[in-house]
């Protein structure tokens, strides 16, 4: 029953999903923890006529950039979801005559048919959240349509707001809808509705005031940011509406626009226009009947919302806000898990080819990739993205390579990393043939010896304060021994990632091995470790994680003092053997995270799995569910050329934790 439950959750989270193409600018902003604001594309494909739509889309992106944030216009093109569009892509969707309106349910269809798709509020929220974007700027959200008691016409935007924690900055609910019933729906589904004003009067899109109220009102965006963060800390999954009244000088006369809307609604009923076509039709007719006034107003309120959204997004990533939030959290005895990671930071080069490479001295077509690597750095990166408080103890050269790594990874804490004036930054070259690493060549050099016993002693406090210590096999035996001694003194558990089969020898010391709580070897490293333990291994066991589990449980001496032994078998899956506090043993066999034909690069996938597994356990996820977080992290990394996927977020943990609490045992 347990294994079937694991498999079901895995299918739910890891089943076929659309490719996400995140633009380099958006990806860099997310990596660097800079402000990012999502923008929908339905307003381009269906809301405004050409060329006004293209002009508005370009202006919105310019406004967001002027506020020192990065715009991420979301659309579907060429069978892929695009998060962040290039100018040519914006022009293409603005000119598209056959574009379809894509709500959340339509994403798969649009991808399968390779259509041009403009994403609605619901679809944009969902996709923005998938990419880790927390703020989304739009015109007005959908809602309960007038006459919904007869038609049951309720926008999917409301359902998405009830389950996706993205802040939607808007001018309220579109005035063509039933605003009162929409607000009742949002209240029923626990959606924060905050009016950005000095008085609590909910705006009506074209007009600054209606007869309705929001949940609360404020003119302080820091207060809004704190509400969003508190909702996240509490595990509340609903989104937030920040309703921004249009400036007085821009609003259209309320009675005049209301009469036009009623006329357009009657016309839509007479023409039997239903579902997704209602809103575009009415907006078009309102613009025609108002002689263009409503379109001008629409564009101006979009700009106003984009500016406010940018300011809010900056607050949510700003150091002053995060420092205050962390202080509040500590005061309430809430804190992020602390992990100290010790080992190598390496600049990786990867030669990638899809050709059938032979050992014939020939040249093969492909490409060269440069990325941040190193086993310790990879773990520190992934653990940081998963919301842990990470101290990285490592070493880089005071050179261009080290500077490049730090700039690419400034979402991480580099305060304790040695910057050597004597030695160069370590490098590594891997050969990727059709998604698999055939072999690699490292040039770690002497910089690794700057991670010395003396350096460890200097940073003793970081081990004393850690919830877990993770080390890689690149560092010296002397440094590993000092870590073991310090960890024993402070009663801290150590995770050892060997990195290479011959580096397993470094923990076989009597002062070190008893301090290792978790080891995560691959097949070669496990075989070498078993031989060191005087246990002979039949290579046939490496064809299945179940064979590994049976083998270890038949040779318990291999577990030593380990709480967990995690053996990666690449395309054959992963085996996890656990020793519980009562000295009982359990075993999980996991399949590969994704199908082999979906793999872009295997580099860093194991490190991502380890980080997901560890972060989940430190956040209270049960043992039977923690591997699923690891699998998801590995799956995301396998589908990118980066050593750690930028799509790894704390949401992966909260989803599994929520599921494991609500599912039967």
Collapsing DSSP to helix, strand or coil, 30 comes out as: helix
Is 174 assigned a catalytic role? yes
Residue 214 token pair: 């929001």
Closest residue by Cα to residue 631 from 651, 606, 654, 650: 606
Q: Residues 135, 38: contact at Cβ < 8 Å? A: yes
- CA gap 656, 10 in Å, rounded: 10
Q: Whose CA is closest to 295, among 286, 303, 282?
A: 286
DSSP secondary structure string for all residues of 435-476: TEEEEEEEE-GGGGGGS-HHHHHHTHHHHHT-SEEEEETTS-
Is residue 452 a contact partner of residue 478, using CB atoms and an 8 Å limit?
A: yes
Query: Longest C-alpha distance within the chain, in Å?
Result: 88
- Per-residue DSSP letter, 343: S
In terms of Cα–Cα distance, which of 225, 219, 192 is closest to 325?
A: 225
Instruction: Give every strand in the sheet of 494-497, ordered side by side.
Output: 389-393, 338-342, 468-472, 494-497, 516-519, 564-568, 574-579, 585-590
Distance between CA 572 and CA 591 in Å, rounded?
Answer: 7
Please return the burial class of 606, using the count of CB atoms within 10 Å of its CB with bins 0-12, 13-18 and 19+. Answer: buried
Long-range contacts made by residues 652-655, C-beta under 8 angstroms, separation at least 24?
652/386, 652/612, 653/386, 653/387, 653/612, 653/615, 653/616, 653/619, 653/621, 653/629, 654/235, 655/13
Half-sphere exposure of 454 (CA within 13 A, CB side): 3
Buried b (16+ CB within 10 A) or exposed e, 131-160: bbbbbbbbbbbbbbbbebeeeebbbbbbeb
Residue 365 CB coordination number (10 Å): 7
Answer yes or no: 40 catalytic: yes
Kindly name the residue from 67, 104, 160, 174 that is annotated as catalytic. Answer: 174
Q: Is 370 helix (H, G, I), strand (E, B) or coil?
A: strand
Instruction: Give the Cα separation of 529 and 520 in Å (integer).
Output: 11
Residue ranges of the alpha helices (H) in 318-459?
319-331, 375-385, 400-408, 453-458
Name, in order, each residue with C-beta under 8 angstroms of 183's C-beta and a sequence gap of 6 or more. Answer: 173, 193, 202, 212, 214
Asked whether the beta carbons of 141 and 161 are under 8 A apart, the reply is yes
What is the C-alpha separation between 213 and 121, in angstroms, rounded? 22
Q: Which two tokens stand for residue 341?
A: 């990671």
* Residues with catalytic function: 40, 174
């Amino acid at each position: 029953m347990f294994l079937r439950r694991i498999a079901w959750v895995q299918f739910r989270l890891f089943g076929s999903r659309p490719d996400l193409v995140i633009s380099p600018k958006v990806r860099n902003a997310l990596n660097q923890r800079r402000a990012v604001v999502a923008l929908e594309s339905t307003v381009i494909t269906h809301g405004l006529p050409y060329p006004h739509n293209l002009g508005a889309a370009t202006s919105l992106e310019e406004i967001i950039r002027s506020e020192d944030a990065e715009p991420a216009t979301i659309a579907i093109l060429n069978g892929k979801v695009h998060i962040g569009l290039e100018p040519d892509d914006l022009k293409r969707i603005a000119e598209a005559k056959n574009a379809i309106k894509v709500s959340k349910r339509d994403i798969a269809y649009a991808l399968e048919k390779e259509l041009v798709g403009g994403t609605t509020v619901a679809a944009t929220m969902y996709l923005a959240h998938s990419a880790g974007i927390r703020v989304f700027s739009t015109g007005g959200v959908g809602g309960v349509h007038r006459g919904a008691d007869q038609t049951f016409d309720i926008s999917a935007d409301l359902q998405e707001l009830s389950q996706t924690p993205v802040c939607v900055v808007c001018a309220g609910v579109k005035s063509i809808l039933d605003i009162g019933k929409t607000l009742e729906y949002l209240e029923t589904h626990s959606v924060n509705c905050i009016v950005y004003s000095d008085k609590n009067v909910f705006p009506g899109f074209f007009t600054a005031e209606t007869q309705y109220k929001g949940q609360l009102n404020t003119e302080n965006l820091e207060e809004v940011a704190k509400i969003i963060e508190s909702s996240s800390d509490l595990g509340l999954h609903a989104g937030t509406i920040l309703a921004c009244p249009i400036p007085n000088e821009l609003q259209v006369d309320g009675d005049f626009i209301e009469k036009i809307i009623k006329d357009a609604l009657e016309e839509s009923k007479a023409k039997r226009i239903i579902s997704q076509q209602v809103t575009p039709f009415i907006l078009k007719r309102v613009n025609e009947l108002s002689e263009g006034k409503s379109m001008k107003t629409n564009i101006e309120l979009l700009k106003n919302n984009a500016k406010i959204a940018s300011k809010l997004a900056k607050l949510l990533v700003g150091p002053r806000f995060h420092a205050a939030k962390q202080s509040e959290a500590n005061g309430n005895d809430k804190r992020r898990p602390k992990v100290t990671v010790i080992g190598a930071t390496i600049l990786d080069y990867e030669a990638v080819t899809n050709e059938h490479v032979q050992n014939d001295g020939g040249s093969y077509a492909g490409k060269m990739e440069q990325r941040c690597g190193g086993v310790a750095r990879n773990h520190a990166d992934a653990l940081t993205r998963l919301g842990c408080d990470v101290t990285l103890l490592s070493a880089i050269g005071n050179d261009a390579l080290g500077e490049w790594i730090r700039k690419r990874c400034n979402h991480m804490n580099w305060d304790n990393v040695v910057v050597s004036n004597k030695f160069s930054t370590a490098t590594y070259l891997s050969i990727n043939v059709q998604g698999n690493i055939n072999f690699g060549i490292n040039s770690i050099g002497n910089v690794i010896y700057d991670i010395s016993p003396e350096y460890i002693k200097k940073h003793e406090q970081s081990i004393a304060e850690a919830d877990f210590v993770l080390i890689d096999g690149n560092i010296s035996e002397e440094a590993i021994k000092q870590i073991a001694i310090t960890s024993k003194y402070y009663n801290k558990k150590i995770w050892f990632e060997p990195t290479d089969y011959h580096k397993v020898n470094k923990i076989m010391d009597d002062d070190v091995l008893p301090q290792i709580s978790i080891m995560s070897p691959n097949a070669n490293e496990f075989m070498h470790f078993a031989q060191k333990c005087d246990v002979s291994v039949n290579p046939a066991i490496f064809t299945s994680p179940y064979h590994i589990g049976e083998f270890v449980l038949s040779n318990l001496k291999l577990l030593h003092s380990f709480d967990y032994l995690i053996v990666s078998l690449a395309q054959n899956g992963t085996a996890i053997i656990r020793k519980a506090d009562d000295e009982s043993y359990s075993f999980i066999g996991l399949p590969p995270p994704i199908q082999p034909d979906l793999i872009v690069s295997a580099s860093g996938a194991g490190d991502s799995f380890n980080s997901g597994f560890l972060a989940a356990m430190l956040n209270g996820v049960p043992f039977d569910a923690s591997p699923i977080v690891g699998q998801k992290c590995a799956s995301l990394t396998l589908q990118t050329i980066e050593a750690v996927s930028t799509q790894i977020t704390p949401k992966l943990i909260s989803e599994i934790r929520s599921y494991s609490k609500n599912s039967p045992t």
